[in-house]
Amino acid sequence: MVDKEKLTIAVLSGDLERALSAFMLATTGAAMGMEVNMFFTFWGLNIIKRNEGGIKSKGLMRKMLNLMNRGGSKRLKLSRFNMFGLGTWMMKRLMKDINMPSIDEFITMAHQMGVKLIACTTTCGVMGLLPEKDTFRSEVDSLTGAAYFLGEARQSKVTLFI
Partner 1 sequence: MKADQSLDCVGLYCPMPIVKTAERIKQLKQGEVLEVVADDKGIKLDMSAWCEATGHEFLGVEEEDNEIKVYVKKAHQ
Contact footprint for partner 1 (CB under 8 A)? 1, 5, 24-25, 27-28, 30-34, 98-101, 109, 113
CB closer to partner 1 out of 112 and 142: 112
How far apart are alpha carbons 128 and 73 in whole angstroms? 17
Nearer residue to partner 1 within complex by CB, 112 or 138: 112
* Distance in Å, CB of 102 to partner 1, minimum: 13
Q: Return d(Cα 71, Cα 49) in angstroms, integer.
A: 6
Q: C-beta of 81: minimal distance to partner 1 in Å?
A: 20
CA pair distance 69, 30, nearest whole angstrom: 31
Helices H / strands E in the chain, number of each: 7, 5
State which residue, 84 or 99, has the beta carbon closest to partner 1.
Answer: 99
Looking at residue 131, the DSSP 8-state letter turns out to be S
Distance in Å, CB of 85 to partner 1, minimum: 24
CB of 1 to partner 1, least distance (A): 6
Name the residue nearer to partner 1 (CB basis): 113 or 160: 113
Contact 46, 71 (CB under 8 A): yes
CA distance 42 to 23: 17
Give 95: exposed, middle or buried? Use CB within 10 Å, 0-12, 13-18, 19+: middle
| Residue 100 beta carbon to partner 1: minimum distance, rounded to whole angstroms | 6
Give whichever of 4 and 74 is closer to partner 1, judged by the CB atom. 4
